[in-house]
Amino acid sequence: MERIIDTKVGKIKGYIKDNNRCEFNGIPYAITERFELPKPYIIDGIYDTSNPILDCVQYGTFRDNSEEFYEKEFRGGLTFNYVESPMTLSITTPLEPKKSSVLIFIHGGGFENGMVNEYPWGYDSEYAKRNIILVSIGYRLNVLSLYRNLNLGLHDQLFAIKWVYDNIEAFGGNKNNMTLMGQSAGAMSITDLLYTKKLDGIIKSAIMVSGGGVIPGLLGPLSKDKFAPFWDDVDKMAGINNEDDRKNVKIDVLWNAWYERSRNKYGFRTVQPGIDGEIIKDKPQKLLKNREELDIPIMLGVTSQDFIAPIIYHLALNWAKDNDKKKKSNVYCYFFDRCLPGNLYKAFHAADLWYLFGNMDKSWRPFEDIDYKLKDTMIDYVVNFINNHDPNGDGLKEWKPTTRKFKNFKYFSGSDSDSYIKPSKAKKMVWRTMLKDHGPM
């Protein structure tokens, strides 16, 4: 069954699924040329969301990554359509939305990879039945975003969020109650966006999973001058001598030059956003010290086998302590420690996404009753946070904000998901991860 929504940019056709939700997949929110800022996409006629979803060109466009862990975990069996201008978003609404709160998800993937509709977040099996609208946004990645510190992916994200704010009422959403959620690079992106102040009055709370407080490039300088030799080297390898070359060089040549130089000579910083003076205005150390970000309630998540686990954990803890010291909004921290069934990896980086979205029927893993119960508990807390910017309520056990005096994190392990983990135990676990018990990263 179809449903047509009349928005400010045109009419959009969605489809009712399982008689309990309506899906609008792959809506174009912007369009642009290579290395230019996003521009409004105006719909001519009725946009049919049964069209293929467009995602940004990335590693899987040019190389075989079928054996890579996250390819199997989150994308196995899916097909993708890769383009240079991938500014699309997918919206899932309740069957009969009524001023529904809105959750906007920004995927991770190290600013290099990632798609709008991967298994964990691309199929809403939980939020629609709780009267929440879920939006998943796509944005430019890798060289198409990062070239010479342009940070075009971050500009895309801002544009998409404002598009949702301007149009979500047509879908039955409450534009005055929107929560941002991001994982890994998505969480790092949210950190950046909160510092712009351009979301003031638009976003009411944020959930940052495995990356809250991590401003890209924390390991070194990010200025245009510092990055210029790298980009000059990329241009040379790609045969770029002028602006026409930049706009017209084949994408595989451009991407391969960026990939080869970043891997073989320049390293980690070249796959992260740089200081652009607009979104990332200064060195990360200075931004974190001054803490002038948008003051809203925050939920921060860490897994026990997270990527650079000690850094992720300590940045979350320090954000919470600093908010308490400066009398800012509450920060609710959690520590995810469920060993997922199916292989030897435990609570790996991004493992908690299966529980935060609940799409376990899309996974190959033999999830158990304990996993479904943990999923329900975590989503109930998240729904409360989206609606009220506080995870407490609805018969759940109290979740205290993390402060200078109360440094514990809510502990989600499956067998003991209503308790807290103390810093002494959490630090021991994350350092073991770093030094010995590695995840798939």
Percentage of residues of the chain with pLDDT beyond 90: 78
- Is a pLDDT exceeding 70 seen at residue 416? no
**Secondary structure of the chain as H, E, C letters:** CEEEEEECCEEEEEEEECCCEEEEEEEECEECCCCCCCEECCCCCEEECCCCCEEECCHHHHCCCCCCHHHHHHHCCCCCEEECCCCEEEEEEECCCCCEEEEEEECCCCCCCCCCCCHHHHCCCCCHHHCEEEEEECCCCHHHHHHHHCCHHHHHHHHHHHHHHHHHHHHCEEEEEEEEEEECHHHHHHHHHHHHCCCCCCCCEEEEECCCCCCCCCCCCCCHHHHHHHHHHHHHHHCCCCHHHHHHCCHHHHHHHHHHHHHHHHCHHHHCCCCCCCCCCCCHHHHHHHCCCCCCCEEEEEECECCCHHHHHHHHHHHHHHHHHCCCCCEEEEEECCCCCCCCCCCECCCCHHHHHCCHHHCCCCCCHHHHHHHHHHHHHHHHHHHHCCCCCCCCCCCCCCCCCCCCEEEECCCCCCEEECHHHHHHHHHHHHHCCCCCC
Question: Is residue 172's pLDDT more than 80?
Answer: yes
* Residue 265, pLDDT above cutoff 80: no
Average the pLDDT over each of 144-158, 192-206, 213-227, 354-368 and give the range with the smallest value.
213-227
| pLDDT for position 404 | 97
pLDDT in tens, 310-331: 999 999 999 999 999 999 999 9
- Exactly one of 184, 189, 304, 417 is catalytic; which is it? 184
| pLDDT grade for 218, boundaries at 50, 70 and 90 | low
How would you class 203 by CB atoms within 10 Å of its CB: exposed for 0-12, middle for 13-18, buried for 19 or more? buried
Q: Is the pLDDT of residue 353 over 90?
A: yes
Model confidence at 217, in pLDDT bands (50, 70, 90)? low
Predicted pLDDT at 216: 62
Mean pLDDT of 221-231: 85
Q: Is 210 a catalytic residue?
A: no
Across 68-77, 273-282, 378-387, 430-439, the highest mean pLDDT is recorded for 378-387
Give this prediction's pTM: 0.96
The whole-number average pLDDT for the span 231-256 is 96
Q: Is the pLDDT of residue 144 over 60?
A: yes
Does pLDDT of 116 surpass 90? yes
The answer on pLDDT for 35 being more than 80 is yes
Whether residue 24 has pLDDT greater than 70:
yes
